[in-house]
């Protein structure tokens, strides 16, 4: 006979999840429509179930213990899945609404166009697009898919690879002409003209101009203090197209500007990025068929576009 499941009480789990998410028993009580004392008792019952303290109690609030952090990460996904199932069975879930979380640079350079084509030619569904940084909480925020760089941030999730981008120096045609970059060697690049992209603290091994020079076999240490710094890859591409300098641009993202002649790549040397761009889905939640169709189509669309830049 199959062994019965040893599951925690649902109300206690809801009280714990709300307390962790909102940062206190009083706020959780307001959301759940009960008293703070009732929330505290439910949390204590859950701690008794697990045999571990889930919160540190402070005079000015609560914080998760290491055990509480594990329970919170799993419970937020599980409760999100249960809510999704309930809405689907009750007929309230609309298959025409998909929440897509995406990196800010990838949204205007590819995703907006791709989703417009999908709605027009494939399936007329409604999207909620959220441009945000990693990590995202799928269950808590009802995210259906996350499009990001690399799968390492979400080790416990399902991942579908989209494409691996390459980087190359790019600038406006006028800038290239004025600065003698046409048919020139990479050493013609001046530190003053380099546009540097800062990817953020979450990306410790993001590609830099130093990496590009090394990939081209050039020993050069450029002066970081003389670079123009942009906090987004798409912003660096826009600056280069405006004639502000030379960006180490991502070819996939810059494909429209390159095809339109707004950008040129004066040098043939390219740098392949360390990780692919991926679609991430929560493992604990069975994707809706509409979500599955979209993910499959995005992978095909991204591969087709990437082939145009090879």
Please compute the mean of the pLDDT values over residues 88-92 and round it to a whole number.
52
Task: Assign 40 a pLDDT band (cuts: 50, 70, 90).
Answer: very high
Task: Assign 1 a pLDDT band (cuts: 50, 70, 90).
Answer: very low
Specify whether the CB–CB gap between 32 and 39 falls below 8 A.
yes
Dihedral in degrees, nearest 10, Cα atoms 124, 126, 131, 137: -120
Q: What is the number of alpha carbons within 13 Å of residue 167 lying toward its C-beta?
A: 27
* Confidence at residue 270, expressed as pLDDT on a 0 to 100 scale: 92
Strands (E) across 7-68 are located at 55-58, 61-64
107-128 pLDDT tens trace: 999 999 999 999 999 988 899 9
Q: How many CB atoms lie within 10 A of CB 128?
A: 12
Cα separations in angstroms, 193 against 219, 222, 239: 18, 11, 11
Which helix (H) or strand (E) segment holds residue 70: the answer is helix 66-90
Specify whether the CB–CB gap between 140 and 21 falls below 8 A.
yes
What mean pLDDT is reported for the chain? 85
Per-residue DSSP letter, 34: S
| pLDDT exceeds 70 at position 61 | yes
184-206 pLDDT tens trace: 888 889 888 999 887 765 555 67
- Counted residue by residue, the chain has a size of 310
Nearest in space to 192 (alpha carbons), one of 227, 160, 225: 227
Task: Assign 241 a pLDDT band (cuts: 50, 70, 90).
Answer: very high
* CA distance linking residue 234 with residue 231, whole number of Å: 9
% of the chain at pLDDT higher than 70: 88
- DSSP characters for 269-307? --EE-SS-EEEEEETTSPPPHHHHHHHHHHHHHHHHHHH
Cα separations in angstroms, 218 against 136, 221, 243, 292, 293: 39, 9, 25, 45, 45
The domains found in the chain, sorted by start residue, are 10-90 (1.10.10.10), 97-164+275-308 (3.40.190.10), 166-272 (3.40.190.10)
Please compute the mean of the pLDDT values over residues 276-291 and round it to a whole number.
83
- DSSP characters for 239-250? HHHTTS-EEEEE
Task: Assign 92 a pLDDT band (cuts: 50, 70, 90).
Answer: very low
- Specify burial of residue 100 (Cβ count, 10 A radius: 0-12, 13-18, 19+): buried
Please compute the mean of the pLDDT values over residues 294-309 and round it to a whole number.
91
201 Cβ partners below 8 Å, 6+ apart?
Answer: none
Strands (E) across the chain are located at 55-58, 61-64, 97-102, 126-131, 145-149, 157-163, 166-170, 194-197, 228-230, 246-250, 271-272, 277-282
């Amino acid at each position: 006979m199959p062994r019965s499941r040893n599951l925690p009480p649902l109300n206690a789990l809801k009280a714990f999840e709300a307390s962790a998410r909102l940062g206190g028993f009083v706020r959780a009580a307001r959301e759940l429509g009960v008293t703070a004392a009732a929330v505290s008792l439910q949390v204590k019952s859950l701690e008794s179930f697990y045999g571990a303290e889930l919160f540190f109690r402070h005079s000015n609030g609560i914080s998760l213990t290491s055990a509480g952090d594990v329970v919170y990460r799993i419970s937020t996904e599980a409760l999100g899945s249960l809510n999704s199932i309930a809405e689907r069975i009750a007929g309230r879930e609309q298959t025409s609404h998909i929440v897509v979380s995406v990196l800010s640079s990838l949204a205007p350079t590819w995703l907006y166009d791709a989703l417009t084509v999908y709605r027009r030619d494939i399936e007329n569904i409604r999207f909620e697009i959220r441009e945000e940084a990693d990590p995202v909480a799928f269950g808590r925020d009802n995210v259906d898919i996350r499009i990001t760089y690399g799968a390492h941030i979400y080790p416990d999730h399902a991942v579908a690879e989209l494409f691996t981008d390459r980087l190359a120096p790019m600038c406006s045609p006028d800038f290239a002409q004025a600065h003698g970059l046409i048919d020139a060697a990479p050493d013609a690049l001046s530190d003053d003209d380099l546009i540097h992209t800062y990817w953020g603290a979450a990306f410790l091994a993001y590609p830099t101009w130093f990496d590009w020079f090394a990939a081209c076999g050039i020993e050069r240490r450029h002066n970081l203090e003389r670079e123009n710094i942009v906090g987004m890859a798409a912003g660096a591409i826009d600056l280069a197209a405006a004639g502000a300098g030379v960006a180490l641009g991502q070819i996939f993202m810059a494909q429209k500007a390159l095809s339109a002649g707004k950008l040129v790549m004066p040098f043939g040397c390219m740098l392949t990025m360390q990780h692919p761009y991926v679609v991430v889905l929560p493992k604990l939640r069975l994707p809706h068929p509409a979500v599955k169709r979209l993910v499959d189509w995005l992978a095909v669309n991204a591969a087709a576009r990437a082939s145009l830049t090879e």
